[in-house]
């Protein structure tokens, strides 16, 4: 039997200042910088701003994905990142990306689940 561990999936909810939760362009630049810094490979993305000021973003990676959905009217966001271990163990990169996201948004973690697949 193979003992391969597919990867780490982090799912979280956090509160953050309203301006950060409305700034989709800044989030896009941040995600792009993080992808480069963490040596990940983006293969596509979708960003959408809502009339109420929030946004959603999903970035497809060769390693899997990262996503965020913001509700500035509630000071809230949900975030998830899954990085597979196909070529290397990426658990540290997933954790680093999550920590950097909290710092970028000036966020306070409300809940976090780590699923080791």
Domains in the chain, CATH or no CATH each: 7-116 (3.60.90.10)
When pLDDT is cut at 50, 70 and 90, the band that residue 93 belongs to is: very high
Decide if 72 contacts 84 (C-beta within 8 A): no
Nearest in space to 7 (alpha carbons), one of 89, 104, 92, 97: 89
The arithmetic mean of pLDDT across residues 18-30, rounded, is 98
Q: Say whether pLDDT at 1 is over 70.
A: no
Decide if 62 contacts 7 (C-beta within 8 A): no
């Amino acid at each position: 039997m193979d003992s391969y561990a597919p990867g780490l999936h982090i799912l979280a909810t956090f509160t953050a200042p309203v301006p950060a939760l409305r700034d989709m362009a800044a989030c896009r630049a941040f995600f792009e910088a993080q992808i480069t810094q963490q040596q990940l490979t983006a293969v596509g993305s979708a960003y959408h701003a809502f009339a109420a000021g929030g946004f959603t973003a999903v970035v497809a990676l060769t390693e899997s994905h990262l996503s965020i959905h913001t509700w500035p009217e509630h000071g809230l966001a949900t975030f998830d990142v899954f990085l597979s271990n196909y070529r290397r163990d990426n658990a540290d990169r997933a954790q680093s990306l999550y920590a950097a996201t909290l710092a970028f948004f000036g966020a306070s973690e409300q809940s976090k689940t780590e699923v080791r697949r």
